[in-house]
Amino acid sequence: MNPKALQEVLDLVSKGNNLGEKIYLVGATKTISAQVINNAVELGLEIVAENKVQEFREKTDLIVGAKQHFIGHLQTNKVKYLVGKVELIQSVDSFHLAEEISKVALKKNITQDVLVEINVGGELSKSGYSLENAVTGVKEISKLPGVNVVGLMAMLPRSNDEALLKRLCLKMRELYDTMILEGYPFKYLSMGMSHDYKIAINCGSNMIRLGSKIFGERIYGGI
| Distance between CA atoms of residues 65 and 38, nearest Å | 8
**How many other C-beta atoms can be found within 10 angstroms of the C-beta atom of residue 175?**
19
Q: What is the CA radius of gyration of the chain?
A: 17
Condensed to tens digits (0 to 9), the pLDDT of residues 62-105 reads: 999 999 999 999 999 999 999 999 999 999 999 999 999 999 99
More confident residue, 74 or 125: 74
Q: Give the C-alpha distances (Å, rounded to integers) separating 128 from 25, 104, 158, 171, 199.
A: 22, 21, 16, 15, 21
Torsion of CA 90, 212, 203, 12, to 10 degrees: 110
Whole-number mean pLDDT of the chain? 94
C-alpha 76/C-alpha 179 separation (Å) is 26
Model confidence pLDDT, tens digit, residues 149-180: 999 999 888 889 999 999 999 999 999 999 99
42-55, pLDDT tens digit by residue?
A: 999 999 999 999 99
Residue 222, pLDDT above cutoff 50: no
What is the C-alpha to C-alpha distance for residues 217 and 210, in angstroms, rounded to an integer?
Answer: 11
Q: Check if the beta carbon of residue 205 is closer than 8 Å to that of residue 186.
A: no
User: What architecture (CATH level 2) is domain 3-212?
Assistant: Alpha-Beta Barrel (3.20)
Taking each helix axis as running N to C, give the angle between helix 131-142 and helix 162-181, from 0 to 180 degrees, rounded to the nearest 10.
30
**Range in 47-51, 193-197, 206-210 with the lowest mean pLDDT:** 193-197
Is residue 220's pLDDT more than 70?
no
Mean per-residue pLDDT, 15-26: 95
Q: What is the mean pLDDT of residues 12-32?
A: 95
Q: Angle CA(112)–CA(115)–CA(119) in degrees, nearest 5?
A: 150
Tell me the pTM.
0.94
pLDDT at 223: 43
How far apart (Å, rounded) are the C-alpha atoms in residues 57 and 80? 11
* pLDDT tens per residue, range 129-148: 999 999 999 999 999 999 99
DSSP alpha helix (H) spans, the chain = 3-13, 34-42, 53-59, 95-108, 131-142, 162-181, 197-202, 212-215
